[in-house]
Copies of this chain bind each other. A is one copy, B any other.
Amino acid sequence: MSYEVKSLNEECGVFGVWGHPDASRVVYFGLHSLQHRGQEGAGIVSNDQGRLRGHRDLGLLSEVFSDENKLTKLKGNAAIGHVRYATAGNGSVDNIQPFLFKFYDSQIALAHNGNLTNAKTLRRELEKDGAIFHSNSDTEILMHLIRRSQQPTLNGQLKEALNQVKGGFAYLLITEDAIVAALDPNGFRPLSIGQMKNGAYVIASETCALEVSGAAFVRDVQPGELVIINEEGITIEQYTTETQHAICAMEYIYFARPDSNIARVNVHTARKEMGRRLAQEAPVEADMVIGVPNSSLSAASGYAEYSGIPYELGLVKNQYVARTFIQPTQELREQGVRMKLSAVRGVVEGKRVILVDDSIVRGTTSRRIVNLLKEAGAKEVHLRIASPPLKYPCFYGIDIQTRKELIAANHSIEEIKECVKSDTLAFLSEQGLIDSIGLTFDAPYSGLCMAYFNGDYPTPLYDYEEQYQASLQEQTSFF
């Protein structure tokens, strides 16, 4: 049940609230609007007068809480929740968050969005020292670091732990008397604070979850910040001052919901601007502009607006998910592809089409969509990608960890065009992307992480360094 017809996956979303009598319901609604960030599993932990209670399971949020009693039992006026994205073949409930820990002296639950770059090293050191891990998730590491810290307070223990983990992370914790959030020193992943009408504070991976909760935007959590919300209100501290913005560009391009703002930039508006810039950089004569639903519709309308070529609904996405395991046989295989996306023959037949997509990973989906349009009678298909070619893996929380999967890491633009069988092909330039988003941080690329496009990683790669260097030598053919 994927959000889009693409194999790019975000790693998780978090949501928390402090100070609302129906805290777990607020979290349920918040997580529902973050479901696109993870569909493998979901969980919520509430604070019921100092006692933490949780429920988590595999499946969509609506499946995990299909029995309303499961939500009703999560009493209390504070709660945090998590949606986890699906990795192939590792469907264990042990990895579903928040993780809830009950100690003789305290209780803590923990949720995490991101990816650590020194997890393997930390885990090995901890195990050598007697630690026992119960999941494959990196998330557990932070808790071991906290419990082994010699600092006298949880605040101190947490700061010490946060300075040991490296990579991209947005942590959300709930304790007996507070909810706590922390963002990595580069702010790879988004994390925002809002406030409900009754004064309750909420924290969410995307601002769309603030809207759905009726919460007003307060501010974004900044790199290196530790946010504590408790009975005395909200306190923001720095656990480190060595910070520099490197916000994940793919959040703007593909992951985030168009109604979210990241670093105060609206995602739909950024995408529309990418489409306008793309029209300027790579114009082509045609009868209509079509976007791949749903993530590319903003960019497509921007392209249409700038170029003056009509924007049309040439592709329809089926809103009902098909069981992928019902495999078509023989000649039906091709029909199976059509279950997710249909070309509108009545619109495209005999027409020259500009097809706008947000990105290309393997190229497989692009080839199929071009083919759909041609079969429906499109005379020409000009593929326009509203971001630069993806050439390098991500180690901060996006599910591309090898160059092998990336067609642009292995082939030229001309070769990709041959592969996807479009009449022409063009990508947005790196500068075009940066300008379209329009961040103004005093940092490389105005505060964006552009590593997937140019390999310029904002941090050391730690455990991944060796694997990364090796991958630079490899070449895979997609033909």
Give A residues with C-beta under 8 Å from B: 3, 21-22, 25-26, 28-29, 32-33, 35-36, 39, 60-62, 65-66, 68, 71, 93, 101-105, 123-124, 127-128, 130-134, 140, 143-144, 147-148, 197-198, 208, 211-214, 257-259, 261, 265-269, 272, 294, 297-298, 301, 305, 310-313, 316, 318-323, 325-326, 328-332, 334-336, 338-339, 342-347, 376
Listed from nearest, the 4 A-B pairs whose CB atoms lie closest are A266-B346, A259-B344, A130-B148, A35-B320
- From A213, A323, A347, residue with most partner B Cβ within 10 Å: A323
Interchain CB contact under 8 A, B28 and A326: yes
The answer to whether residues A29 and B130 also contact, given A266-B346, A316-B259, A326-B65 and a CB cut-off of 8 A, is no
Interchain CB contact under 8 A, B22 and A319: no
Interchain CB contact under 8 A, B104 and A130: no
CA separation between A339 and B105, bound complex, in Å? 39
A125: nearest residue on chain B (CB-CB)? B104
Chain B residues positioned under 8 Å from A301 (CB to CB): 311-313
A35: nearest residue on chain B (CB-CB)? B320
CA separation between A36 and B39, bound complex, in Å? 23
Chain B nearest CB: distance from A308 CB in Å? 11
**Contact check: which of B39, B104, B339 meets A32 at CB < 8 Å?**
B339
Chain B residues positioned under 8 Å from A272 (CB to CB): 313
Number of copies: 4
Chain B nearest CB: distance from A96 CB in Å? 12
Interchain CB contact under 8 A, B104 and A29: no
Interchain CB contact under 8 A, A60 and B29: no
**Contact check: which of B326, B328, B344 meets A266 at CB < 8 Å?**
B344
CA separation between A147 and B74, bound complex, in Å? 35
Chain B residues positioned under 8 Å from A134 (CB to CB): 101, 132, 134
Chain B nearest CB: distance from A404 CB in Å? 25
Known: A208-B316, A214-B331, A259-B346. 17 other contacts (CB 8 A): A25-B326, A26-B332, A29-B332, A62-B323, A65-B323, A68-B325, A130-B148, A132-B143, A211-B338, A212-B338, A212-B339, A259-B343, A259-B344, A265-B346, A268-B312, A269-B347, A294-B319
Interchain CB contact under 8 A, A345 and B259: yes
CA separation between A147 and B148, bound complex, in Å? 15
Interchain CB contact under 8 A, B322 and A62: yes
Chain B residues positioned under 8 Å from A123 (CB to CB): 104
CA separation between A130 and B148, bound complex, in Å? 5
Interchain CB contact under 8 A, B212 and A25: no
Interchain CB contact under 8 A, A61 and B320: yes
CA separation between A123 and B103, bound complex, in Å? 9
A129: nearest residue on chain B (CB-CB)? B130
A101: nearest residue on chain B (CB-CB)? B132
Chain B nearest CB: distance from A251 CB in Å? 14
Chain B residues positioned under 8 Å from A339 (CB to CB): 29, 32-33, 212
Chain B nearest CB: distance from A470 CB in Å? 21
CA separation between A213 and B339, bound complex, in Å? 9
Interchain CB contact under 8 A, A343 and B211: yes
Chain B nearest CB: distance from A291 CB in Å? 10
The answer to whether residues A346 and B147 also contact, given A3-B319, A329-B25, A334-B214 and a CB cut-off of 8 A, is no
Chain B residues positioned under 8 Å from A320 (CB to CB): 32, 35-36, 39, 60-62
A264: nearest residue on chain B (CB-CB)? B346
Chain B nearest CB: distance from A126 CB in Å? 9
Chain B nearest CB: distance from A63 CB in Å? 9
Interchain CB contact under 8 A, B62 and A336: no
Chain B residues positioned under 8 Å from A212 (CB to CB): 335, 338-339, 342
Interchain CB contact under 8 A, B144 and A124: no
- From A259, A261, A294, residue with most partner B Cβ within 10 Å: A259
